[in-house]
Amino acid sequence: MYSAAKIHGFLHLYIGEEAVAVGVLQALTPDDAIVATYREHGQALARGVPAASLMAEMFGKANGSSRGRGGSMHIFDLARRFYGGYAIVGGGLPVAVGLALADRLSGREGRLTACFFGDGAVAEGEFHESLNLAALWELPVLFLCENNLYAMGTPIRQELAQPDISLRAESYGIPAEPVDGMDVIAVEEAARRAAIQVRRTGAPLFLELRTYRFRAHSMADPDLYRTKDEIGDWRQRDPIALLEARLREAKLIADDDVSALESDVAAELDHAVGVAEAGPFEPVEDLTKDVYGRSAQ
Amino acid sequence: MSVQLAGGSSRRVRLTYREAVRAGMRHALSADDRVFLMGEDVGSYGGAFAVSLGLLDEFGPERIRNTPLSESAFVGAGIGAALGGMRPIVEVMTINFSLLALDQIVNNAATLRYMSGGQLEVPLVVRMATGGGRQLAAQHAHSLEVWYAHVPGIKALAPATVEDARGMLLAALDDPDPVFIFEHATLYPLEGEVDEEPRPVDICRASVRREGGDVTLVTYGGSLAACLAAADDLADEGIEAEVVDLRTLRPLDMDTVLVSLGKTHHAAIVDEGWKTGSLAGEVSAQIMERGFDLLDWPVQRVCSAEVPIPYAKHLEDAALPSRERVAATVREMLV
C-alpha cells in the first residue's frame, strides 16, 4: 500500500518484532492502559484495534482510528485504553507514569500501564526521569523495552556506554528481566509474571525484550548500516515461523490450520484495504476542529 | 462549566497575589478530589515562591506531591494523569526551567486531542513564575510566554491582578485543555481586594484597566504596573492613556484592543519579552491586518533589550520595559 502511494509519510514496519506485542498484550486486561511508540501498529492490532481502522488511518481517512489526523505514528483508541503512538523517542514514558499515577490517586487498584519503547529511548533523559519517578512513587507501570539493537541506524554498542539495559532499570530499584523477544511464548510467560507482580505490589517492573526488525527503520531508510548476513541470521529466528514450528511439533496445528489462518489474514487485510479505500476524507472545513475541546474564541 | 464572573455580593478580603493563587488551589483541592498539585519543593518547603505554603499539612503528601528535578517527567506525568481523569496542577519553578519540559508540552499536551481525532483530552494546568526584575540574571529572568502562546492546542494566561491570580486558576481547572499560567515573579507580594468567595473569571477577554482617549497601551502580566504608572505620569501632562490588559495570551482577544484603538488611534504594546518574535509583534501584526485604517501613528513596541537579562541592577533596569520608557514612547507618538 505504501509502494502504491496509498500510504504516505513515515511508516515503520513491525516485521520481526511481532512476538513482543502479541506476547505482552496476552497478559493485559481491558482495564490496563497502553502507551507505545511510532512503530505501534503491532501493539494496536494485538490490542484489538480493528485492522480496517488502522488501515484507514494510514490512508488518511476520516474512518481511521484518529480520523486521519495522526497517520501510522499516532494510533489512538480510547475505548481500548490505547493511549497512542508517540513519535518523539522517549516521549511516551512520562505520560505512562502519569496514567499510572491517575490510577493510584483514583484508587483503581490492580490496573497497570504498559509502556513500550525502544532501545534508542534508553539514551533519552525522559527514560531516566520516568523510571526514577515511577520507582520513587511506586507506580504500577510495566516498562517494556523493545530492544531491536538499533536506534534508527545506530547500533546499540555505539549508543549506550552500558548496553545492558536491564542493569540500567535495576539501578533505579526496578526489577528487570531480559526476555527472548523472538519467542512469543517466552514473552507471554514473562509478561504474565510481570503483570501479576505489578498488580500485586503496585510498583513498576521492567522487561527487556530482545528482538530484531527484519525491515529497515522506516520506508525512507535504505538500510546501509547492517549486513544481509546479520538480517539473515535473525530471520532464522522469525517469531512467526518459530511458533508455527513449535505448534506443529506439538501437533496442535496442521497444514489445513495454517492455510486457513493465512487465508483469514488475507481476507482481513483485503477487508481493511476495502474499508480504507471506501472511507471518506475529513472535510477541509473541519481542519481546525478539535484543536480545543471548547471554543477558544 | 459555568464561569461566574467575579464581582458578586460576598464579603471583600485583602490578599496578596501569592495568597490568591494559594486560595485558588485550596478551593479547588477542597472542592474536587481529582485536583492535586505537583512540582519541585511544593511540599514542606512551600514552593520556591511560597505559593503552596501550608497546603501539605492540609491535604497531605498524596495530593501535594514533591517531585524530583525532572521537569520533563513530572510535566509529562501531569499530562498522563490528566488523560487518566485527574485535574493536575503542575508547578514549574520558573519559565526558564520549563524549557526542560518543552517536549512534553509542545509535542504531547498540545497535540493529543487533535492528533487522536478528538478522542483524548488533557485537562492539565501548569503554573510557572516568569519575568525579570529581581537581579537573578539570564537563567532566571526571561519572559518566554510567547513561545507557549505560539502553540495551538494550549491556552496561555498571564494574570496581572490579585483577582485574576485566583480566578484564572479556577477557570483553568474548569477548562478541558492544557492551560499554562504565567505568574510574573514580582507580582507575588502585590496586594488587592477580592471577593471572599473564590470564583473562576473569564479567560477569553482582555480587560481595560484604565480608560483614556489618546493612546492605547496594550500589555499583560508584570508590565501592567509600569503601564498604569506611565499612564498616571502622562495624565499629569494632559495625555490620557487607555490601558488594555491582554490577560489571555492565547487565544488573543484582539476585539478589545481594536475597540480601544478606534477611540485612541495610537497603540503602544508593552511586553517584557524580547522584541524580535515577540507577542508585541503578534499584536502589532494583527492590528495591521484588522485595524490599519484606525491608526494615526505607527504601532510602537516597548520590549526588553535584546540581551540575556543581566544581573547588575542598573543594567537589568535598563533592559526591562519601565514606566519611564513607556511614557517616553507615548510622548514621541503624540508630538
pLDDT, tens digit, 9 for 90 and up, residues B101-154 = 999 999 999 999 999 999 999 999 999 999 999 999 999 999 999 999 999 999
Q: For chain A, how many residues are written?
A: 297
Contacts of B115 in chain A (CB under 8 A): 66, 69-70, 74, 76, 84
Q: Please give the CATH topology (third level) of the domain spanning A18-279.
A: Rossmann fold (3.40.50)
When pLDDT is averaged across residues A200-218 and rounded to a whole number, the result is 94
Angle CA(A121)–CA(A127)–CA(A129) in degrees, nearest 5?
160
- pLDDT at residue A297, rounded to an integer: 40
Distance CA A269, CA A262 (A): 11
Which residues of B are the active-site residues?
Answer: 71, 140
**Model pLDDT, residue A296:** 47
Is pLDDT at B277 greater than 70 in this prediction?
A: yes
Chain B residues with CB-CB distance to A86 below 8 A: 107-108
E strands within B124-200?
A: 125-130, 155-157, 179-184, 191-195
Are A235 and A214 in contact by the 8 Å Cβ rule? The answer is yes
Q: Does residue B80 contact residue A100 with C-beta atoms inside 8 Å?
A: yes
Average pLDDT, chain A: 94
Cell of B99: 524549557
| Strand spans (E) along A41-110 | 82-86
The CATH classification number of B207-333 equals 3.40.50.920
The whole-model pTM stands at 0.95
Query: Which among B115, B204, B250 is the nearest to A70, CB-wise?
Result: B115
Per-residue cell: B280: 508585541
DSSP tag of B186: G
CB atoms within 10 A of CB A175: 16
Q: What is the mean pLDDT of chain B?
A: 96
> ∠ CA(B244), CA(B321), CA(B278), 5° rounding?
70
Q: Which class is domain B12-195?
A: alpha beta
B102 interfacial to chain A (CB closer than 8 Å):
no
Q: What average pLDDT score do residues A272-295 get?
A: 94
* Set of chain B residues whose Cβ sits within 8 Å of the Cβ of A37: none
* DSSP string covering B215-262: EEEEE-GGGHHHHHHHHHHHHHTT--EEEEE--EEES--HHHHHHHHH
pLDDT at B1: 37
How far apart are alpha carbons A192 and A252 in whole angstroms?
A: 22
Q: Which residues of A touch B84 (CB under 8 A)?
A: 33, 98-99, 101-103, 106
CA-based radius of gyration for chain A: 19
Q: B109: nearest CA in chain A?
A: A95
A125 → chain B, closest CA residue: B72
Considering CB atoms only, which of A69, A91, A102 is closest to B107?
Answer: A91
Task: Calculate how close chain B gets to A133, using CA atoms only, in Å.
Answer: 7
Confidence class for position A219, pLDDT limits 50, 70, 90: confident
- Residue B65's closest chain A neighbor by CA? A137
**pLDDT over threshold 80, residue B285:** yes
Determine contact, residues A26/A188, Cβ cutoff 8 Å.
yes
Cell triple for residue A86?
A: 508517540
Q: How far is CA B236 from the centre of its chain?
A: 30
Task: Return the pLDDT at B8.
Answer: 53
- Would you say A133 and B73 are in contact if contact means Cβ atoms under 8 Å apart? yes
- Residue A282: pLDDT over 60: yes
Q: What is the pLDDT of residues A19-38, one digit of tens each?
A: 999 999 999 999 999 999 99
- Where exactly are the structural domains of chain A? 18-279
Distance of CA B16 to the CA centre of its chain: 16
Residue ranges per domain, chain B? 12-195, 207-333
**Which residues in chain A are contacts of B73 at CB distance < 8 A?**
93-94, 97, 126, 129-130, 132-133
Which residue type sits at A130? Answer: S
Determine the average pLDDT of the residues in A231-259: 94
Using the Cβ of B112 and the Cβ atoms of chain A, whether some distance falls under 8 Å is answered with yes
Model confidence band, residue A218 (pLDDT cutoffs 50, 70, 90): confident
Q: What is the mean pLDDT of residues A209-220?
A: 89
With cell 493511549, the residue in question is A83
Same fold flag, B12-195 and B207-333: yes
CA distance A132 to chain B (A): 9
A102 and B79 in contact by Cβ < 8 A? no
As a whole number of angstroms, the distance between CA B181 and CA B166 comes to 11
What are the backbone dihedrals phi and psi of residue A116, each rounded to the nearest 5 degrees, phi first? -90, 140
**Cβ pair A78:B119 closer than 8 A:** yes
With 0-12 / 13-18 / 19 or more C-beta atoms within 10 angstroms meaning exposed / middle / buried, residue A5 is exposed
Interchain proximity B84–A69, CB inside 8 Å: no
Distance separating alpha carbons of residues A114 and A143, to the nearest angstrom: 6
